[in-house]
Structure 1
Amino acid sequence: MSNPTDFPKPIFISVNGVELEVFEAGQENIGKPIVLCHGWPEHAFSWRHQIPALVTAGYHVIAPNQRGYGNSSRPIEVTSYDVEHLSGDLIGLLDHYGYKEATFVGHDWGAMVVWGLTLLYPSRVNRVINLSVPYQKRWEKPWIELMEQFFGDDFYFVHFNRQPGVADAVLNDNTFQFLRNMYRKNQPPVEPEPGMMMINLAKAKAPLGEPIMSDSDLAVFVSAFEASGFTSSINWYRNLDRNWHLLANVHPIIQQPALMIYGDRDTVAKSENLKEFVPNAEEVSLDCGHWIQQEKPEETNQTILKWLEHQATS
């Protein structure tokens, strides 16, 4: 069990017109950077189990709270959260430290940003490690339009876009309950409820399954979102169609060595054609749900370190 007081203390770095709250460890390993990119509704603290293992393995670990999260800047404009801005922040971090390139690790939305970053700035990414969310092929229709067609108005990606502010307010009013109910594992199978999933989660009085973290760890996430609210992080979703347009003319193949880690019980589907777009990818599945690095910290660490070691010697 982790102790929040052992987590690195934040530093603040100005990049790309914003200030990022960054948790850094392993400065003695300068020259071997690895950047950890969290998902939604997360925080750099979601990498608490990986940071010490990566430092011991000789890496300089850089774990930002990306824009919209924690004590990082939260621009008002929705378009400030598109893939160009989010990627630009990460490139700004590399420039700050004087690194030409780094290994990038992403989970959930962080994985989507890392895939986009690698497409936009291929010379700055030497290896990719992504958890949960595989490379997404660019379809002929914009994402929200496509999701609306297949999943309907209540699908949370669609709802966030079509009814801005509605879910944000419910999540803001029920922050503890929402995050407590969200961060679970081994949930029993249940029939999907009518309505919007995230709003339902925020309003549910009793959580399902088992918690994936201690009360003190959960409190780190809760206090961060009580301070920031949810709108700035949900704005990432509100740029999906904009990202679809921004990436229209980008070469879609990623040549970097890549490790894709899935959770066998994750609701996010595994890719059926990953190597078509990421030909140098290796795929690994762990027996867990969506919160891979928090549910299975040791297995995640072993998988990542074994792959990195193999990359270093191949």
Structure 2
Amino acid sequence: MQKVSTRPSDLTALLDYFGYKDATFVGHDWGANVVWSLALLHPERVNKVINLALPYQERGEKPWIEFMEAIFGGDSYFVHFNRQPGVADAIMDENASQFLRNIFRKNVPLTPPEPGMLMINLARAEKPLGEPLMEDHELSVFVSAFESSGFTGSINWYRNLDRNWHLMADVTPIIHQPTLMIYGERDTIPKSENLKNIVPNLDIVSLDCGHWIQQEKPEETNQAILKWLENQNA
């Protein structure tokens, strides 16, 4: 399993290859997590941060899975992936096309969570909520990739959270770079109430969309980013 420093090191290697001292990095969800880690581990290589959907979460006193289990219980997919290894992998592998069709949705109504584990429910749901996020030919690229590889490699990211919690113990947990955080107002990921305390140089934009911000609102996302960059460089 890849440790927390692997992807950030890939990005610094990319900077080295092209001869850049630093850059502005943009991430969404998992990508946002990589950018947050990059800004912490290699602050001299990151001049600005732009992240979508997933706010920075400061390292707590308990390892991540123990913390999430105490709050959300065993059906949280973060917890389930760790406590019941292999179960969700097999179900998602068996229903790869259906799972991906069901997770890449927009205009999904906010409804109370169903009993059971979210990712397994999505893999088995025959009538998904909302509308398709992408065309069939676009979705087929993802389906082909995951039918070939399976989902275990991706799920292992969750299984490595506690190891990464330990690895980040001595890292100063403040993001000092100028940062733009873009939320989707209808995303199920909650906004951070204390983000300004741990990302002090912060601006926030919220768009009327769900989780897949840059795909649901591409023009608005681009405009928000460009306007913010223009203000930063003024």
Which residue does 2:126 correspond to in 1? Answer: 205
Partner amino acid for 2:125? A
2:77 to 156, 159, 163: 156
Counterparts of 1:224 and 1:283, CA distance in 2: 34
Which residue does 1:165 correspond to in 2? Answer: 86
Counterparts of 1:93 and 1:245, CA distance in 2: 26
Counterparts of 1:162 and 1:97, CA distance in 2: 42
Q: Map of 1:12-51 to 2, 5 A cutoff?
A: none
Counterparts of 2:57 and 2:152, CA distance in 1: 24
Higher RCO (C-alpha 8 Å, min separation 6): 2
Q: Map of 1:64-213 to 2, 5 A cutoff?
A: 78=1, 81-213=2-134
For residues 29-53 of structure 1, give each alpha carbon's deviation from its aligned partner in whole angstroms, at most 9, with x where no partner exists: xxxxxxxxxxxxxxxxxxxxxxxxx
Q: Map of 1:208-223 to 2, 5 A cutoff?
A: 208-223=129-144
Partner amino acid for 1:187? V
Give the Å deviation of 1:246. Answer: 1.1
Partner amino acid for 1:174? N
- Local SS of the residue matching 1:279: coil
Counterparts of 2:36 and 2:96, CA distance in 1: 29
- Local SS of the residue matching 2:197: helix
Give the Å deviation of 1:137. Answer: 1.6
Give the Å deviation of 1:229. Answer: 1.5
Which residue does 2:231 correspond to in 1? Answer: 310
Counterparts of 1:247 and 1:156, CA distance in 2: 23
For residues 218-249 of structure 1, give each alpha carbon's deviation from its aligned partner in whole angstroms, at most 9, with x where no partner exists: 11221222222211111111111111111111
Counterparts of 2:25 and 2:159, CA distance in 1: 24
For residues 44-101 of structure 1, give each alpha carbon's deviation from its aligned partner in whole angstroms, at most 9, with x where no partner exists: xxxxxxxxxxxxxxxxxxxxxxxxxxxxxxxxxx2xx221112112112212222221
Give the Å deviation of 1:189. Answer: 3.7
Counterparts of 1:235 and 1:87, CA distance in 2: 17
Assess if the C-alpha contact under 8 Å between 2:108 and 2:210 holds in 1.
no
Assess if the C-alpha contact under 8 Å between 1:83 and 1:117 holds in 2.
no
Partner amino acid for 1:136? Q
How many residues align? The count is 234
Counterparts of 2:158 and 2:147, CA distance in 1: 20
Q: Which runs of 5+ in 1 are unaligned?
A: 1-77
Partner amino acid for 1:257? P
Which residue does 1:9 correspond to in 2? Answer: none
Q: Does 1:291 align with 2:212?
A: yes
- What percentage of aligned pairs have identical amino acids? 71
Which residue does 1:45 correspond to in 2? Answer: none
Provide TM-score, normalisation by structure 2.
Answer: 0.96
Q: Which runs of 5+ in 2 are unaligned?
A: none
- Local SS of the residue matching 2:154: helix
User: Cα RMSD between the aligned structures?
Assistant: 1.2
Assess if the C-alpha contact under 8 Å between 2:110 and 2:186 holds in 1.
no
Counterparts of 1:94 and 1:121, CA distance in 2: 12
Q: Does 1:234 align with 2:155?
A: yes
Give the Å deviation of 1:186. Answer: 1.9
- Local SS of the residue matching 2:160: helix
Give the Å deviation of 1:190. Answer: 3.2
Deviates more, 1:120-129 or 1:210-219: 210-219
Q: Does 1:277 align with 2:181?
A: no
1:300 to 195, 206, 221: 221
Counterparts of 1:311 and 1:291, CA distance in 2: 25
Assess if the C-alpha contact under 8 Å between 1:105 and 1:111 holds in 2.
yes
Which residue does 1:18 correspond to in 2? Answer: none
Quick check: which one's helix share is greater? 2
Which residue does 2:166 correspond to in 1? Answer: 245
